[in-house]
Structure 1
Amino acid sequence: MTRRPLAFLCVLCIVIFAVLTYFGLPPERGQAEKGAVYKLLEVPRDVTVTGEVLRSEEQEDYSYLFLKQAVLSVHSQTYNISNVRITLKVPVHYAVGVSVSAFGMLKPIEAPTNPGQFDRAFYYRLRGIGYTMSGPQIQVLSSHIHPVSEGLAIVREALRERIRHAFPKEAAGIISAMILGDKSLLTEDVRTGFSMGGVSHMLAISGLHISLFGEGLYRLLLLIPFFGRGRKKGAGALAIVILISYAVLTGLSVATIRAVIMFAVMRGADFAGRTYDPPTAIAFAALLIVIEQPLYVFYSGFILSFLAVTVFTVFYDRSGIVTGLILFLVTLPVILWSFYEFSSYTILINFIVVPL
């Protein structure tokens, strides 16, 4: 670390963020009024929630609507609350950026009651979501749209539908998950099979694939004479913009964000005539993600993603089998702590399905 002061500083900042977050600092949106809101919701009643559409997801016979900057109104009182996930009983699309009002029964997302149970509350809390509402009456208050975000949402939905119609049901679910980060088409059998085999990560967008795609795109853009003398900077900047757009398109998973940041750092080092240092890039990427959402330091997906890329970076000169074993041993405690179980044949299956 003494040779990498920036990496050390990033790690130190992450530790500070972890300590502050553990003690509830800084408070999340709606935290100050959370007790009062929970007390109000103890009595089942219909309430009004207004907010801006963050995302809209349509399924075959229902849809999800996510509201940010939500405000709860009960009688004449208003409360700032965390984001809300609304379940609509019909497939309907609301554009990103539109302000809406929802009238229905609001419920806090409950924490797990048993050790090892999926922590749905924490999963949604990472995304700023603390409440759900089902089947409410929706009224559009403002037609203002975020054109870029809405455009990417339309592209994602169009691609998902193309995949759904072009492939058999099981294959469509796997392809959609691996390319678009959309797992809504996955069948229960596929989910269970991948989970029991310990290869659920194969259904996620790989940071390695993002890196390979970014580098390939950059080299392809270098062939375009449009950029002239500054083609390296132009091609690199355009490749970064495309990767960021793809990251937003696919839902901004931790691995995707990490890979995009590391690619941007690599291209930035190239532009500045400096040597690219992977450990520093890893630490810097982790810090940026934690700054955006400090709770990630306690999220197994974040920890496993950065442990994996760190192992591959440190032991890049070892054989694939050795690196795979080290990766398994390093991530095993996190897996056991988070999921209370692991597949005994995970290593063997990963050696088969993951090229090392």
Structure 2
Amino acid sequence: MKNRPLLCTCLILLAGVILSVFAGGSALIRQLRPSPLEIHAKQGEVLAITGQAYKIEKKEKHQAVYLKNNSILQIQKDQKQSFQEPNFILYTDPEIQIHIGNAIRATGELSFFQNARNPGNFDQKLYYQRQAIHGLAWAKEVEVADDSVWKIRDWLAGFRSQWKKALIEALGEKDGNVLSAMMLGEKSEMDPDTKELYQASGIGHILAISGVCFLCWVSLIGERMA
């Protein structure tokens, strides 16, 4: 082997590839395993959720509050059962003031994400499973249990929201949302037909690359300064 440095290098690279494949496969298997929420709860069941807001997406008629480190209690059963869930999405009235870092208590009706109905369609369930999110609820009651705020992350989220608002005001709703998807990675209010055209043309990645860079930058700053 001493006289064959190229062979030695190739074997090391091959070993690295094999380890990466096994590691990626193990991670994917963990992601696809049923979570405690999927095991214990049912669609439409009313749950009590307690968690910490780490991301907020404001929309015209509601806001999506992403919660982590959740404790979930089934309140409709004779024997109440609680379990832990890593991440969860709570939809609330946009008028309710919630900041990143707040501890939230809420009750709401559980919904699960849908698999792609046809080959090639967007797989909502798989998309959220990879983020360790397995369910959502429309809040019936919401309470801020702890008003601690991650100031830097909260400021950056507000900055992103204002930037999106400015783009829509300057370019109109359709073009503003397209540019918002490209620059900020915010595709939630983009016109579905326009999104499908980008994907069908094979240029859907344009809507994600810049946004991913922006979100990574926001996350890194938030983690360092929170």
TM-score (norm 1): 0.51
After the TM superposition, which residues 336-347 of structure 1 pair with which residues of structure 2 at under 5 Å, given as runs? Answer: none
Q: Which amino acid aligns with 2:102?
A: V
- SS for the counterpart of 2:9 is coil
Which runs of 5 or more structure 1 residues have no equivalent in the other structure? Answer: 211-241, 250-356
Q: Which amino acid aligns with 1:37?
A: H
Q: Indicate conservation of the 8 Å contact 1:73/1:79, yes or no.
A: yes
Task: Quote the Cα distance in structure 2 between the aligned partners of 1:35 and 1:116.
Answer: 25
Alpha carbons of structure 1 residues 111 and 203: separation in structure 2 relative to 1, 3 Å: closer
Does residue 37 of structure 1 match 2:40? yes
- SS for the counterpart of 1:104 is strand
Partner of 1:258: none
Q: Indicate conservation of the 8 Å contact 1:176/1:185, yes or no.
A: no
Alpha carbons of structure 1 residues 179 and 131: separation in structure 2 relative to 1, 3 Å: same
Q: Indicate conservation of the 8 Å contact 2:184/2:215, yes or no.
A: no
Structure 1: 4+ residue segments shifted above 3 A: 1-10, 21-25, 33-36, 89-93, 110-117, 246-249
- SS for the counterpart of 2:209 is coil
- SS for the counterpart of 1:103 is strand
Partner of 2:3: none
Alpha carbons of structure 1 residues 168 and 45: separation in structure 2 relative to 1, 3 Å: closer
Task: Quote the Cα distance in structure 2 between the aligned partners of 1:188 and 1:243.
Answer: 22
Alpha carbons of structure 1 residues 90 and 246: separation in structure 2 relative to 1, 3 Å: closer
Structure with larger Rg: 1
Partner of 1:104: 108
Alpha carbons of structure 1 residues 18 and 162: separation in structure 2 relative to 1, 3 Å: same
C-alpha deviations, 1:25-78, integer Å up to 9, x for none? 9x97x84x456413xx26x44220111112111111221111111111124431
Which runs of 5 or more structure 2 residues have no equivalent in the other structure? Answer: 1-5, 222-226
Alpha carbons of structure 1 residues 185 and 248: separation in structure 2 relative to 1, 3 Å: farther
- SS for the counterpart of 1:47 is strand
Does residue 11 of structure 1 match 2:14? no
Partner of 2:81: 77
Shift of 1:102: 1.2
Structure with greater proportional helix content: 1
Quote the RMSD (CA, aligned, Å): 3.3
Task: Quote the Cα distance in structure 1 between the aligned partners of 2:38 and 2:92.
Answer: 27
Shift of 1:125: 0.8
Q: Which amino acid aligns with 2:9?
A: R
Does residue 186 of structure 1 match 2:190? yes
Aligned residues: 211
Q: Which amino acid aligns with 2:144?
A: V
Task: Quote the Cα distance in structure 1 between the aligned partners of 2:199 and 2:11.
Answer: 40
Does residue 129 of structure 1 match 2:133? yes
Q: Which amino acid aligns with 2:156?
A: L
Task: Quote the Cα distance in structure 2 between the aligned partners of 1:196 and 1:243.
Answer: 25
C-alpha deviations, 1:59-103, integer Å up to 9, x for none? 112211111111111244310124111222435452111110111
Task: Quote the Cα distance in structure 1 between the aligned partners of 2:96 and 2:57.
Answer: 8
Task: Quote the Cα distance in structure 1 between the aligned partners of 2:16 and 2:118.
Answer: 35
Alpha carbons of structure 1 residues 192 and 91: separation in structure 2 relative to 1, 3 Å: farther
After the TM superposition, which residues 246-261 of structure 1 pair with which residues of structure 2 at under 5 Å, given as runs? Answer: 246=218
Shift of 1:153: 0.8
Does residue 161 of structure 1 match 2:165? yes
